[in-house]
Amino acid sequence: MSSASSAPTSLPQNVLIVGAGGREHTLVKAVLASPAKPRVIAAPGNAGISADVQTFPVAADDINGLVALAQREKIDFVIVGPEVPLSLGLVDALNKIGIPAYGPKADGARLEASKVFTKQILLKYGIPTAASGIFTEIEPALAYVRQRGAPIVIKADGLAAGKGVIVAQTLAEAEAAVLDMLAGNKFGSAGSQILVEDCMTGEETSILVVTSGRDYIILPTSQDHKRIGDGDTGPNTGGMGTYSPADVVTPALLAQIEREIVKPSVDAIADEGIDFRGTLFIGIMLTPTGPSVLEYNTRFGDPETQVVIPRLDTDVLALLWAAAKGTLAGIRFAIKPEHAICVVIAAKGYPDAYAKGDVIRFPAKLADNVQIIHAGTAKNAAGEVVTAGGRVLGVTAVAPTLRAAADAAYAACEQIECTSKVYRRDIGAKQLNRR
């Protein structure tokens, strides 16, 4: 882990942030707070982002459109939020015309775009991970599932918006998931190859690592809540809330994770010839036998970003610029002692079918330590903010204790009016109960 006292002296003045979710709204706010006072624009943005900066209606997967926008607006640094533009080669296209970007090129983004590719790297380099099988045909997959027994995990190989993972509690559920993916086309081409893994038990944690070649900085620990319902019930989602720090990751455990997982992962990626400059997000299960890798993502997590970024006592623009430029070893990095929590407000029905267009009314005044981060929002013809996605808002609070942060966030959640709002009432409860 590298650190030093001096930061890069000249920072970009025209920054484009690509994406439309809560992660991107958090990054917009963080970059606007940089002492460099850059001009910031976003594409495509959302209703909350457009209240903070100028937005352009260019889709995150429109690579040519984004490159043209960057050229037209004289952008000198691009921060890529979501996984899809990374896997489609947005950073490659920007680098080709001399525009630096934060985020891996397509070869690095493959670590998220293909769960099979990641599993092969984990196994090749002896990084702890669950036993598994890789399948493209139904019968061998079903035979393997029956041999291993339930509970068992079925993963679509490709990108499935955080929903391509089924934790099957019974054989019948596992067999149905195999058929859904390989025969039923539930996840399209993402599910034409599947990974079947032993089900690991324990608590999950998310380790976000700002990476630049072999240099890296580990960001504050956090813990996500994936299932839709209180008590970790119901289907998996893209994430219903998170908090930081995750006390379950003690300093000794973090040192073990760095030694056994983070450094070997960063080195393995470099050894594979991938010049990775971006966020390596490592999903880890804290099993009874030690930490084990669930997945790699190749961008900031959502909603992890909403609690990790506010805890950085570092210029976020300088940090990301240093990673992109290969000067990460020279960055001053510090973490604030406060606790942060983010409660996701979703649309009723998510992660399945949900309505869009419900008007959202916000409280007239928020507590100083609370931010409302927009994710799936838009404006209607009357200029009102309305729901436009499954995960609609993230209510983030920072306070000296997790309890104080949770109380502040939930007080704000109560004041937000929207007919279809749903949210979990137990974000952070595991840690609070542990105490």
> Could you read off the pLDDT of 81-103 as tens digits, one per residue?
999 999 999 999 999 999 999 99
- Does residue 132 fall inside a structural domain? no
Residue 6: the pLDDT is: 38
Please tell me whether residues 287 and 173 are part of one structural domain: no
**Confidence band, pLDDT 50/70/90 cuts, at residue 8:** very low
Per residue in 130-163, pLDDT (tens digit) is: 999 999 889 999 999 999 999 999 988 877 655 5
- Does residue 2 fall inside a structural domain? no
Please tell me whether residues 414 and 265 are part of one structural domain: yes
Please tell me whether residues 262 and 384 are part of one structural domain: yes
What is the 3-state secondary structure of the chain? CCCCCCCCCCCCCEEEEEECCHHHHHHHHHHHCCCCCCEEEEEECCHHHHHHCEECCCCCCCHHHHHHHHHHCCCCEEEECCHHHHHCCHHHHHHHCCCCEECCCHHHHHHHHCHHHHHHHHHHCCCCECCEEEECCHHHHHHHHHHHCCCEEEEECCCCCCCCEEEECCHHHHHHHHHHHHCCCCCHHHHCCEEEEECCCCEEEEEEEEEECCEEEECCCEEECCEEECCCEEEECCCCEEEECCCCCCHHHHHHHHHHHHHHHHHHHHHCCCCCEEEEEEEEEEECCEEEEEEEECCCCCCCHHHHHHHECCCHHHHHHHHHHCCHHHCCCCECCCEEEEEEEEECCCCCCCCCCCECECCCCCCCCEEEEECCEEECCCCCEEECCCEEEEEEEEECCHHHHHHHHHHHHHHCECCCEECCCCCCHHHHHHC
Residue 182: the pLDDT is: 87
Please tell me whether residues 223 and 185 are part of one structural domain: no
Per residue in 335-381, pLDDT (tens digit) is: 999 999 999 999 999 999 999 999 999 999 999 999 999 999 999 99
Answer with the one of 192, 211, 239 that is the final residue of a domain: 192
Please tell me whether residues 143 and 232 are part of one structural domain: no
pTM, two decimals, is 0.91
Question: Mean pLDDT, the chain, as a whole number?
Answer: 93
Q: In angstroms, rounded to a whole number, what is the distance separating the alpha carbons of residues 379 and 309?
A: 26
Answer with the one of 53, 85, 105 that is the final residue of a domain: 105
Residue 164: the pLDDT is: 78
Please tell me whether residues 188 and 215 are part of one structural domain: no
Average pLDDT over residues 160-179: 84
- Does residue 114 fall inside a structural domain? no
- Does residue 127 fall inside a structural domain? no
Q: Domain limits at 227?
A: 203-434
Q: Is the pLDDT of residue 4 over 70?
A: no
**Confidence band, pLDDT 50/70/90 cuts, at residue 185:** low
User: Which CATH number is 245's domain given?
Assistant: 3.30.470.20
Residue 188: the pLDDT is: 62
- Does residue 6 fall inside a structural domain? no
- Does residue 387 fall inside a structural domain? yes
Residue 154: the pLDDT is: 92
User: Which CATH number is 71's domain given?
Assistant: 3.40.50.20
Answer with the one of 105, 127, 155 that is the final residue of a domain: 105
- Does residue 256 fall inside a structural domain? yes
User: Into how many domains does the chain fold?
Assistant: 3
Residue 354: the pLDDT is: 96
Residue 204: the pLDDT is: 86
Residue 170: the pLDDT is: 94
Please tell me whether residues 256 and 399 are part of one structural domain: yes
Please tell me whether residues 229 and 260 are part of one structural domain: yes
Please tell me whether residues 310 and 391 are part of one structural domain: yes
Please tell me whether residues 357 and 387 are part of one structural domain: yes
Please tell me whether residues 166 and 209 are part of one structural domain: no
User: Which CATH number is 188's domain given?
Assistant: 3.30.1490.20
Please tell me whether residues 187 and 210 are part of one structural domain: no
